[in-house]
Amino acid sequence: MTALTLPASLVDSQWLAAHLEHPDLVVLDASWYMPAAKRAGEQEWRTQRIPGARFFDFDRKIKDENSPLPHMLPTAAQFAQQVSALGLSNHHRIVVYDGSGIFAAPRAWWMFKAMGHDQVAVLDGGLPNWITKGLPLDSSKPEPVAPGQFVAQLQTTWIADADQVQVALSQSQSRILDARSHERFSGQAADPRPAVRPGHMPGAVCLPFSELLQQGHFLPKEQLAQKLAAQLSSEQELICSCGSGVTAAILALAADITGHQKIAVYDGSWTEWGGSSHLPVVTD
């Protein structure tokens, strides 16, 4: 069998269905939902999934257990151990999806990028589109998988912390894009986390992730490029932020799709920034 190459950072259901049986391909369900949705990603995966999909739990398992912040990136050693337990090795080509269409899967995509694994893509339209297309589903009890051998190599260029964001806010060669809604960005709406202040970082720009999507799919590449070009030059270093580092990865993936070169996600995002009394916050 010929070697498998992912065509881009975003693949469609037809491509995945055509390559689903390839031995180098691993499919991951990275579904995660806001508490208000009252949905449980792992339970839904156990009930119905793309055949062979394994559950990638970045909220409860594959995270930094020592951080008070939600689902922070773990160490390279922990990441390697946990994805090896999912049967993953470095030669695998990974396609990640979620049950919303596009919501949580880009977070998993970014995590693999940050751990040095470039052969990873997101399924455009996610599980809803897969179901709409009438493609096969598996509702049987998930089978255990044989462990893999995954070696992670942290790529710090994909990650930003609060100190780096503070420096970047005052530099013209950097742009901070915030994926939250205009209401939360401006401070008109309270943050869903009680201890977190409303508002935004001085100098950040609001680009709600929802403006890059349409019915669970990314906008066409040309439209994504237009949306990003209105806020960002091709030479600028991009740092993406949001509430807790999930939808920021949607902006990061959109930038990657359009060919932007310097992309990072602020992992702590607004939960850290708005929850820290010493970091500057503005409202408008």
Of 104, 242, 248, 253, which is the active-site residue? Answer: 242
Query: What is the predicted pLDDT for the residue at 90?
Result: 98
**pLDDT value at position 194?**
87
Mean pLDDT of the chain: 97
Phi, psi of 19 (to 5 degrees): -115, 10
Confidence of residue 261 (pLDDT cuts 50, 70, 90): very high
Report the candidate in 35, 114, 104 with the shortest Cα–Cα distance to residue 73. Answer: 114
The whole-angstrom separation of Cα 108 and Cα 62 is: 10
Q: Does domain 157-273 have CATH number 3.40.250.10?
A: yes
Q: Are 263 and 255 in contact (CB under 8 A)?
A: yes
Active site residue 206: no
Measured CA distances, 96 to 16, 55, 220, 251, 256 (Å): 10, 10, 19, 16, 16
Q: What's this model's pTM, rounded to 2 decimal places? A: 0.98
Say if residue 1's pLDDT is above 80. Answer: no
Interval 242-261 mean pLDDT: 98
Q: Which residues pair with 26 in a beta bridge?
A: 94
What's the confidence (pLDDT) of residue 109? 99
The model's pLDDT over 6-58, given as tens digits with 9 standing for 90+, comes to 999 999 999 999 999 999 999 999 999 999 999 999 999 999 999 999 999 99
User: Which of the four CATH numbers 3.40.250.10, 2.60.40.10, 3.30.70.270, 3.40.605.10 does domain 10-154 have?
Assistant: 3.40.250.10
Give tens-digit pLDDT for 58-114.
Answer: 999 999 999 999 999 999 999 999 999 999 999 999 999 999 999 999 999 999 999
52 Rama class: left (phi>0) / alpha (psi -120 to 50) / beta: left
Task: Specify the pairing of strand 93-97 against strand 25-29.
Answer: parallel
In terms of Cα–Cα distance, which of 232, 240, 231 is closest to 268? 240
The structural domains of the chain, with segments of one domain joined by +, span 10-154, 157-273
* Topology agreement, domain 10-154 and domain 157-273: yes
Percent of the chain with pLDDT over 70: 100
Distance of alpha carbon 84 from alpha carbon 69, whole angstroms: 25
